[in-house]
Amino acid sequence: TPEIRKQQPATVFGPVGPPSPSNYINGAPGPFAPIFVDTGAIPADNFQLFDPEFALILGPLSLQSEYAFAYVDQIGGPPLFFNAYMAQVSYFLTGEHRPYDRKLGIHDRLKPFENFFHVRRGSRGIQTGLGAWEVAARFSNIVLNDENIRGNNLTDFTFGLNWYLNPYTRWKFNYVRAFLEDSRANKGNSMTDAYGMRIDFDF
């Protein structure tokens, strides 16, 4: 499935204070990993997060969606409500289907019908295995504006191509077009295009 890699705060509702490298999962933001949406530190007594998900697999076609809703009991201010959602679709051009572990409630390891290979076998010449090829698209939106907090509104359209060479190796290509509604002073709206590639090996 396509993916968007962003710098994310380790917790949206962290302790009061300026951002520091220890407050971010992937390190402090930089020129190649900016933070587009961020509430900043919010002093709060407690917060509640609700995150229902939906998945449907019909042969090589997969549909998936998720909605996240956060309630924050802000100290010295009104209660806050933030939400985000996404919907995605993917299709295996080579006919595989995405396995699902019902007990754990997660997608399982994909096994291509044939692994990728390119070998010469004597008189039979060169033989090739394609691996598994998947195309995918996703729409997502996150809104971090409420009451006195202006964390911005980000909408993403993602298109992906995934190549599974074997059950343990995959090559992922992504294109993302993102639209940012920046409600902070002198910022305004903007758009960006992002391209990503990742190779995964796991055992």
Average pLDDT over the chain, rounded to an integer: 81
Residue 183, in any domain of the structure? yes
pLDDT digits (tens, 9 = 90+) for 116-128: 876 666 667 677 7
Residue 30, SS3?
strand
Structure confidence at residue 17 as a pLDDT band (50, 70, 90): very low
Cβ partners under 8 Å of residue 25, min gap 6: 7, 8, 9, 10
Residue 76, in any domain of the structure? yes
Residue 91, in any domain of the structure? yes
d(CA 71, CA 184): 22
Residue 181 pLDDT exceeds 90: no
Q: Please report, for the domain that includes residue 162, its CATH number.
A: 2.40.160.10
Phi-psi region at 186: left, alpha or beta (left = phi > 0; alpha = psi -120 to 50): left
Residue 194: phi, psi to the nearest 5? -130, 140
Structure confidence at residue 132 as a pLDDT band (50, 70, 90): very high
Residue 152 pLDDT exceeds 90: no
Dihedral of CA atoms 104, 107, 113, 116 in degrees, nearest 10, equals: -120
d(CA 95, CA 167): 15
Do 46 and 75 touch, CB atoms closer than 8 A? no
Residue 20, in any domain of the structure? no
Residue 23, in any domain of the structure? no
pLDDT digits (tens, 9 = 90+) for 64-90: 999 999 999 999 899 999 999 999 999
Do 8 and 33 touch, CB atoms closer than 8 A? no
Residue 112, in any domain of the structure? yes
Domain range for residue 109?
Answer: 44-201
d(CA 171, CA 203): 15
pLDDT digits (tens, 9 = 90+) for 18-59: 344 444 444 455 566 667 888 888 888 888 999 999 999 999
Number of domains composing the chain: 1
Do 155 and 143 touch, CB atoms closer than 8 A? no
